[in-house]
Amino acid sequence: MTLSILEKNPRLLVRPVSKQDIPALIGTRVDKKTNRYTGWDHPDTEGWVREMVAEMESKSPGEDGPSGTWYQYAIVDRSTGETAGDIGVGFGIPGPQQAEIGYRLLDSFQGRGLAGEAVGMMVDHLFSERGLHRLTAAVVAPNQPSIRLLEALGFRREGVFRKSFLCDGEWLDDYFYALLNEEWRGARVPRG
Ligand SMILES: CC(C)(COP(=O)(O)OP(=O)(O)OC[C@H]1O[C@@H](n2cnc3c(N)ncnc32)[C@H](O)[C@@H]1OP(=O)(O)O)[C@@H](O)C(=O)NCCC(=O)NCCS
């Protein structure tokens, strides 16, 4: 059997969220500082996280549910088995064979290249194994770590929504990034 792209990395594992991820998910999904630039409306209850995990455990990626077609994956540090963060994939957004992605790491795991590797694995999985055509991500102008991460993976800035994101009383520009399957694969096929 072919080993899934999401399991190949010796440093990281990316897999569907499960109950063991709940404490870390409370850190990534509820914490206001982590979510300053995510547009996430701070559900601020442990109960919401538990319901979301139960939903993910009861459906397959791409299926509809209380979170719509969003499916949540955990990023696990293989050296310790700790949950480092999460990646959300909005299947079918904005249309068929497309998906929007979002990602977060606990503060203690940031700045080590983990997010770039994990999101890269997810991008490869979505294009190579699921055959998606186009991926998108929205990122607020001051969120440099996220912008660098997306651009390092080859995402192109397709648009700017001027002063459309309200953050701590300030209107910020929101950048819209996209990457096509052919661009991802083309960048990885040796030429000549
Ligand atoms: C976005 C996020 C996942 C990136 O995590 P990370 O661990 O810093 O990611 P990486 O270590 O892979 O670094 C990504 C890039 O950002 C750069 N970077 C990290 N911290 C930075 C900072 N404070 N300022 C500028 N660049 C920074 C890294 O050098 C790297 O760029 P490089 O590959 O050109 O060197 C993390 O900052 C996070 O969880 N933020 C809160 C949630 C969030 O904003 N999610 C994104 C919503 S669009």
Per domain, the residue ranges of the chain are 4-137
- How are strands ordered across the β-sheet holding 156-167? 12-16, 70-77, 82-91, 98-105, 134-140, 170-180, 156-167
- With a 6 Å cutoff on the Cβ, whether 142 touches ligand 1 is no
What pLDDT, on the 0 to 100 scale, is given for residue 40?
Answer: 66
pLDDT for residue 33? 80
Q: What per-residue confidence (pLDDT) applies to 189?
A: 66
Q: Tell me if 110 CB under 6 Å of ligand 1.
A: yes
Averages of pLDDT over each 10 residues, the chain, 192 residues: 76 96 90 80 78 96 95 96 96 97 94 95 96 97 97 98 93 97 86 52
Measured in angstroms, how far is the CA atom of residue 45 from the centroid of ligand 1? 26
Task: Looking at the CA of residue 145, tell me the nearest atom of ligand 1.
Answer: 16
Residue 16, Cβ density class (10 Å: 0-12 exposed, 13-18 middle, ≥19 buried): middle
Q: How far is the CA of 106 from the centre of ligand 1 (A)?
A: 11
Residue 84: what pLDDT? 96
Ligand 1 binding pocket includes 6 (Cβ within 6 Å)? no
Structure tokens that stand for 3 in this block = 């080993």
Helices 114-124 and 144-152, axial angle in degrees (round to 10) = 40
Ligand 1 atom having least distance to the Cα of 151: 34
Pocket of ligand 1 contains residue 148 by CB under 6 Å: yes
Task: Let me know if domain 4-137 sits in CATH 3.40.630.30.
Answer: yes
Q: Has this prediction a pTM greater than 0.95?
A: no
